[in-house]
Amino acid sequence: MSQRVALRNVTKRFGSVVALKTISLDIEEGEFITLLGPSGCGKTTTLRLIAGFNDPDQGQILLGDQDITNLPPQKREIGMVFQDYALFPHLTIKENIAFPLRERRTPKEKINDRVVELLELVRLPGVEERYPSELSGGQAQRISVARAVAYPPKVLLMDEPLGALDLKLREAMQLELRRIQQELQITTVFVTHDQTEAMNMSDRIAVMRNGEIEQVGTARDIYNFPQSSFVADFVGRINLLDAELLDKSGGIADLRILNDVNIRAKIATEVQSKSLCVGIRPEKLAIGRSGHEDRYDNQIPGKVVSSTFSGNLLDIFVDVGADKPFLVEQRPDQVPLEINTPVEVCWNAQDALVLSTE
């Protein structure tokens, strides 16, 4: 039922705009994969190619063992959840959910049972006779999911389905969608620009940029071992500093930053590119009093610029002479430092990443 999806050297151009340079991606059976990236990175184009709304210029799309590159969308047996739900406004909820079943000539009695079953799956029983305009955003999204999985599809596509919901509801729906996906064991391709959402839900994440896949991996992989400064910056928060490589040995690099400060950082992934930077996650940074720190491998002096309190975190911004102030995450029970306090920003070599930049 649920099947794997493969993109083989797929390219897509719209007029003179290259939407996708060459993309290859293997999605396992039952896997939840998220295409993550800023707008215009090609994630929605990729989804629309899998759906069949657009044809690739080159390359193949496989569903299971079948080449579906030239199959029209209605024959692909795919389910899809749209950003603004795209429920049929003139049909009742029951008719909406039954739509894929009716189009595939499912017998009537079966449809009725299936609709009840699906409404239970999305935990919204009893709304059969209502119209989409009578539902809230969250409810409409559940119905949209029910419709997408009604005729058990080989793969489920979701195009920023939670974009229109407020934060609380979005978080609740993330869990709901993940639960439904796990219950049905269905191959799912999810598109979002929200990295938290991607990390919360996915088995694997494909980070995209300028029509290419920059990195594919689990949330942990991508967060801890980003392969470029773009990925490091897009997924989670990070402080980036341009760096000059002086020496490397045993997975540790000696680098020079800010023209005259020498530091050490871990080489997590092989770095090819000439221009480098070093990235340190804000939670790996510590703040010490000037002249009193010796527990860390690296430290640079700076001055506190500002601090913000967000309940679970205390963010402190320190000017260390770089383009942007350094962000240091501290526990919220710490006493906020006065502005202009001279401090040392400290970290260990293994917590700093050497990254390639373009």
List of residues contacting another protein (CB under 8 A):
51-53, 72-74, 76-80, 82, 84, 86-90, 99-100, 103-104, 147-148, 150-151, 157
Which residue lies nearer to another protein by CB, 53 or 309?
53
Helix ranges (H only) for the chain are 43-51, 93-103, 108-121, 137-150, 167-184, 195-201, 219-224, 229-234
CB 301 within 8 A of CB 353: no
Q: How far is the CB of 74 from another protein (least distance, A)?
A: 5
Q: How far is the CB of 52 from another protein (least distance, A)?
A: 8
CB 353 within 8 A of CB 232: yes
Q: Which two tokens stand for residue 50?
A: 């899998």
Query: From the DSSP assignment, how many helices (H) and strands (E) are in the chain?
Result: 8, 20
Residue 231, helix vs strand vs coil? helix
Q: How far is the CB of 214 from another protein (least distance, A)?
A: 28
Which residue lies nearer to another protein by CB, 155 or 353?
155
| Residue 66: C-alpha distances to residues 56, 58, 277, 339 (Å) | 16, 17, 43, 63
User: What would the DSSP string read from start to end of 71-122?
Assistant: S-GGGS-EEEE-TT----TTS-HHHHHHHHHHHTT--HHHHHHHHHHHHHHT
155-159 and 188-192: which strand pairing?
parallel
Which residue lies nearer to another protein by CB, 164 or 322?
164
Q: How far is the CB of 79 from another protein (least distance, A)?
A: 7
Three-state SS string over 191-213 comes to: EECCHHHHHHHCCEEEEEECCEE
Q: How far is the CB of 39 from another protein (least distance, A)?
A: 17
Q: Enumerate the β-bridge partners of residue 355.
A: 277
Which residue lies nearer to another protein by CB, 56 or 282?
56
Which residue lies nearer to another protein by CB, 74 or 308?
74
Which residue lies nearer to another protein by CB, 154 or 281?
154
The phi and psi torsions of 152 (rounded to 5 degrees) equal: -45, 110
Which residue lies nearer to another protein by CB, 162 or 300?
162
Q: How far is the CB of 13 from another protein (least distance, A)?
A: 17
Q: How far is the CB of 169 from another protein (least distance, A)?
A: 21
Q: How far is CA 175 from the centre of its chain?
A: 15
Which residue lies nearer to another protein by CB, 18 or 86?
86
Q: How far is the CB of 53 from another protein (least distance, A)?
A: 6
